[in-house]
Structure 1
Amino acid sequence: MKFGDVESAERIFRSIKAKDIITYGAMMKGYVGNEMFEKALDLFEQIHLSLTN
């Protein structure tokens, strides 16, 4: 998401079946880097929920 292509990054992220800390971290960094703080918080909640299941 270096160049602001958030939609493509989200599409790729959704297609990944086995997400790990690296994929979550990359997405989080992209959201924060593009000042999409609400989406970053939503993703953080998703991470928390996936760890508790």
Structure 2
Amino acid sequence: MVKGYVGNEMFEKALDLFEQIDIELGDVTYTIVFNACAKLCNDRAMKIGKKLLAKMPENYRNNDIASTSAIDMLMKFGDVESAER
């Protein structure tokens, strides 16, 4: 569902749903939520995106797609320092 909202440019609804669900996240979910946060680029998106990134397991950080989405999100937030790490 989150992917469907993002695909239809309903980014706020995607984040609303993401905050309501309680599931174990996979690399695809991280990527989708990072993309939604990057598109919104507001205070709420920054908070959710950075919190999610802080919780992201190391093995997902080694995933090229998930890590690229995280970097893109951080760059859109203007957080170059975090993106470089």
TM-score by length of 1: 0.54
What is residue 29 of structure 1 aligned with on the other side? 35
Structure 2: runs of 5+ lacking an equivalent: 1-5, 59-85
Aligned position for 1:48: 54
Contact 2:34 2:49 in 1 (8 A): yes
**Unaligned runs of at least 5 residues, structure 1:** none
- For the 8 Å contact 1:13–1:23, the answer to whether it is kept is no
What's the C-alpha RMSD, in Å, of the aligned pairs?
2.8
Runs of 4 or more, structure 1, over 6 Å off, are none
